[in-house]
Amino acid sequence: MYDAFLLLSFGGPEHPDEVLPFLHNVTRGRGVPPERLAEVAEHYQRFGGVSPINEQCRELVAAIRADFAANAVDLPVYWGNRNWRPMLADTLAQMRDHGIRRAVALATSAYGSYSSCRQYLQDIAAARAAVGPRAPLVDKLRHFHDHPGFVEPFADGLAAALSTLDVTQHATTRVVFTAHSIPVSMAESSGPEGGRYEAQLRETARLVAERAAPGLSWDLVWQSRSGAPHIPWLEPDVNDHLEVLAKEGTTQVAVSPIGFVSDHLEVLWDLDEEAAATARRLGLGFARAGTPGADPRFVAMVRDLVLERMAQPGTRPRTALGRLDHWDVCASNCCPPPVRGR
């Protein structure tokens, strides 16, 4: 049925001169003020104008290729991005030239919303149209927010972060899970019945907390807001939430960015720089948990999802830890764009 695997990702600049063109690609049509773009560009420049996400994708691609070879999955592995090189249309053109007719694809987002799910389907459609009639067909794999290969690396990362905090302050320690904020209208319309994005994130948070932090209270909050100021986005922001926790008597926090697959720039800047600075100012102990990246369990999850799709196209998954009905077929009413002006 399939003759290739495709990794779909967000993309990122790899040279200072690429930062603003990349950000213009990301924010095109979203009404983001120029001053906000300049602010975000400065974040990239603090890291030499290079986002770590592309190198992280290269590591993941290499790990998937090795895992496929070791487990007799005879699919070549390709990689294409939404916003920067290698652009998806260029990758599909290469696949066409290699004789690929149909590929199965994993997007580096575990959850269901317009930007993290349906927009990738639109990216695929636009790239295929650009390539032409011989462009390979591409089927996107389901959401994987509650798959053990996603949950368990987060649980280990959270346990490791907690181990660096003061054990005598356990009673006043709190776990803070973060994910990318999105417009409220996008969150409300995610999934066929609405609210899928938040529901899946809360399910992931629960599964991770049960494994790594039983008995500790936890919250799900948001980071990386980037839209027009007049449009409501999910709140509270992680920095505002740390202020509240400090006032309520929390003395230390372990922050786990469950909304992200790898430690890319939004994790490094928004959490390791900004949230860590907020915690220091408030006198809070602070530890940040890692993300799956190219963890062997996450890589094995990719293979599992591919084999699941090859064996049972169109059916419900069997390997989920959670209880949500989340098979990712993205019907016409699933994850529509946010309502403009809200």
SS3 311: helix
**Contact criterion met (CB below 8 Å) for 321 and 187:** no
The token pair that represents 338 in the structure block: 């946010």
Residue 98 in marked binding region: no
Torsion of CA 10, 104, 144, 125, to 10 degrees: 50
Strands 285-288 and 252-256: parallel
DSSP string, 254-279: EEE-TT-SS--HHHHHIIIIIIHHHH
Provide the CA 66 distance to its chain's centre, in angstroms: 23
3-state helix, strand, coil in the chain (%, to 5): 45, 15, 40
Q: What is the C-alpha separation between 204 and 212, in angstroms, rounded?
A: 12
Give the residue from 98, 101, 89, 86 showing the smallest Cα distance to 128: 89
Residue 51 in marked binding region: yes
SS3 8: strand
Q: What is the C-alpha separation between 333 and 302, in angstroms, rounded?
A: 26
Q: Measured between alpha carbons, how far is residue 146 from residues 67, 127, 157, 310, 321 in Å?
A: 21, 29, 16, 20, 5
Burial 114-129 (b: 16+ CB within 10 A, else e): bbbbbbbbebbeebbe
**Contact criterion met (CB below 8 Å) for 128 and 140:** no
SS3 99: coil
**Contact criterion met (CB below 8 Å) for 37 and 22:** no
Residue 266 in marked binding region: yes
Q: What is the C-alpha separation between 42 and 19, in angstroms, rounded?
A: 9
Task: Enumerate the known binding-site residues for Fe(2+).
Answer: 180, 266
- Binding-site positions: 51, 120, 180, 266
- Give binding residues for Fe-coproporphyrin III as ranges: 51, 120
